[in-house]
Chains A and B, each alone.
Chain A
Amino acid sequence: MTKSRTPVLIVLAVVLAALIIIFILGLSPERIAKPADAMETPVAGGPAPNETKTVTLFFLREDDGLFLPEERKIPVAGSIAREAESVLLELIKGSTNGLPSALPPETKILQVFLTKDGTAYADFSKDLAAAHPSGADAETSTVYVIVDSLAYNFKTIKKVVILIDGEERETLNGHITLDRALVPNYTLIAKTP
């Protein structure tokens, strides 16, 4: 009896192991995030190394504070969330034309993730608020440079939630409401260079 059971047990063990592996892979955040992105970048086997794409960043015009575009090349990541993170990193690095950036250089990006309804969650270290100069003008610049830069470069991003240290915040420093998703405000982009 014990001899005839062994093959059955082995088959069961293999099936069980396979199920566990599928279960673990299925639950990993990578897998959850990917399907939405995969639709946009149907590159078989992922992007080629060193492949770049051009994105538009917004910095502030000294005279009136309207947003002036600057182009940058970022690595193609095969995931909108990763590329959105690159855009935000470039904003923190600052302008190559000496224009003021609306993101303090101390700011770190903790993570960026997307949901299916086109909401991007951009999670920053508390420096975004702590190293911020405060004031309604500065706050408006920061909030809408983030929202506009993300929505302008990625069609799938319709609105943006700004998080600080993983949490929703009432405002950055007392002005613009942050406890909801923000839609882009393209009227802040300069119409002439």
Chain B
Amino acid sequence: MLNMKRIGKAARAALGVLLVVGFFTVAMVAADQRTIVIDPGHGGLDVGAKGKFGSVEKDVDLAISLKLKALLEQNLSYRVVLTRDKDVDASLENRAAVANNNDAALFISVHANGSFRKKARGSETFFLSLNATDEESRRLAYLENASPDLEKRIVEDDKDLIKMILWDMAQAAYIKQSGRLAELIQQELNALLGTENRGIKQADFKVLRGVACPAVLVEAAFISNPEEEQSLIDEAFQAKVAEAIYRGVAAFLKLYRQD
């Protein structure tokens, strides 16, 4: 009898330990369930760039994005949110808002390129460049002057203005990481696609400006180039683009996050 009681006690203790460990594991996983936001370019009335054979960029962007979502969800412990999951209009500011409202860890905008030049071809990955106009410098100077104990020293009336400035400059704090993410994705695009390497570039893209996390815009290939248009509408090629972006993202997360 005594023995049975002891075993019972031990079992109960073990069960307790298991419960506690289990609870923390679940809690940790939940805390790590951060979000990656994928932004399929254009949509609705805005068809994006057009191909000679009648394909439009918005469809290609969405197809690649859906494949990328599946890959990320299968292989990483991240929740994936799309800025649009069907053929609808979405404003550039709302796209950034989806990232910020979901406290996104990463923002990836998926595009196909278009050019005035028939020969233009290849893949490239962009991150934001801050256009250094006077206005910009003034805003930055204001932020720099105001940043130590910002909240304390600023009167109520200025708070809306600061919010607006911060929104417009949100990406500024993540430029370095965005550059690294662009680099890692571009490496994988080069390795998997067999397209011309146009490298990583910086541009003042509106959609990236307000995003408060590392953010890039991938131009998979040129839909304006008839040969690349054929690739872009091919499911196997789309899957390769998605795989390349997924690998770049996985490499980035390995570098910057310990989970």
Nearest B residue to A103 by beta-carbon distance? B116
Which B residues are in CB contact (< 8 Å) with A62? 117-119
Tally chain B residues at the interface, Cβ within 8 Å. Answer: 37
Q: Is A65 a contact partner of B115 (Cβ separation < 8 A)?
A: yes
Let me know if A180 and B131 touch, CB within 8 A. yes
- Shortest distance from the beta carbon of B236 to any chain A beta carbon, whole Å: 23
Chain A nearest CB, measured from B149 CB (Å): 29
Q: Does B69 contact A (CB under 8 A)?
A: no
**Given the complex of chains A and B, what is the CA–CA distance between A136 and B42 in angstroms?**
12
A171 touches B92 (CB 8 A): yes
Question: Quick check: which of B26-34, B43-51, B97-105, B150-158 contacts chain A, the rest being far away?
Answer: B43-51
Among A2-10, A79-87, A137-145, the stretch that binds chain B is: A137-145
Among A135, A159, A182, A183, point to the contact of B114 (Cβ < 8 A).
A135
A182 contact set on B, CB distance < 8 A? 131, 133
Contact mask A129-163 → B, CB, 8 Å, 1/0? 00001111110110000000000000000010000
Partner of B57, one of A135, A140, A159: A135
Q: Is B140 an interface residue (CB 8 A)?
A: no
Contact: A135 with B113, CB < 8 Å?
yes
Q: Is the CB of B205 within 8 A of A134?
A: no
* Known pairs A65-B120, A181-B135; A176 contacts B205 (CB<8 A): yes
| A174 CA / B110 CA spacing, docked (Å) | 12
Chain B 22-40, CB within 8 Å of chain A: the 1/0 string? 0000000000000000000
Asked if B115 contacts A177 (CB within 8 A), the reply is no
Contacts of A175 in B (CB 8 A): 203, 205-207
Question: How far is it, in angstroms, between the C-alpha of A183 and the C-alpha of B41 when the chains are bound?
Answer: 26
**8 Å CB contact of B206 from A117, A170, A181:** A170
- The residue in B115, B136, B224 that gathers the most chain A C-beta atoms within 10 A of its C-beta is B115
A180 to B224, CA, bound (A): 29
Q: Does A100 contact B (CB under 8 A)?
A: yes
Q: Are A134 and B203 in contact (CB under 8 A)?
A: no
A-contacting residues, B200-214, CB 8 Å: 203-207, 209
Question: Is A189 engaged at the interface, CB distance under 8 Å to the other chain?
Answer: no
Residues of B within 8 A of A177 (CB): 131, 204-206, 209
A159 and B120 form a contact (CB under 8 A): no
Which of B46, B47, B113, B117 has its CB near the most chain A CB atoms (within 10 A)? B117
Tell me whether A107 is interfacial, beta carbon within 8 Å: no
- Decide if B188 is an interface residue (CB 8 Å cutoff): no
- Which of B11-19, B71-79, B215-223 participates in binding chain A? B215-223
Which residues of chain B are near A159, meaning CB under 8 Å?
133
Asked if B131 and A174 make an inter-chain contact with CB atoms under 8 angstroms apart, the answer reads no
A55 interface residue, CB < 8 Å from B? no
Task: Verify B120–A137 contact, CB threshold 8 A.
Answer: yes
Q: How distant is the Cα of A27 from the Cα of B87 in the complex, in angstroms?
A: 51
Contact B203 A176 (CB under 8 A): yes
Residues of B105-156 at the interface with A, using a CB-CB cut-off of 8 Å, are 111-120, 126, 131-136
The interface residues of chain A lying within 8 Å CB-to-CB of B118 are: 62
Partner of A135, one of B115, B133, B136, B203: B115
The reply to whether B119 and A176 form a contact with Cβ atoms under 8 Å apart is no
Which 10 A/B pairs are nearest by Cβ-Cβ distance?
A: A135-B114, A135-B49, A100-B116, A137-B115, A177-B206, A134-B49, A177-B204, A135-B113, A171-B206, A138-B114
Residues of A within 8 A of B (CB): 60, 62-63, 65, 100-102, 117, 133-138, 140-141, 159, 170-171, 173-183
* Other A-B pairs, 16, CB within 8 Å; known A65-B117, A134-B50: A62-B118, A100-B117, A134-B48, A134-B57, A135-B48, A135-B115, A137-B115, A137-B117, A138-B49, A138-B114, A173-B48, A174-B46, A174-B92, A174-B207, A177-B131, A180-B133
Binding site for A on B (CB under 8 A): 41-42, 46-50, 57, 92, 111-120, 126, 131-136, 203-207, 209, 217, 219, 222-224
Instruction: List 27 A-B pairs, Cβ < 8 Å.
Output: A101-B116, A133-B114, A133-B224, A134-B42, A134-B49, A135-B49, A135-B112, A135-B223, A136-B111, A136-B126, A136-B219, A137-B120, A138-B49, A171-B206, A174-B42, A174-B46, A175-B203, A175-B207, A176-B203, A177-B131, A177-B204, A177-B205, A177-B209, A179-B206, A180-B133, A181-B133, A181-B135
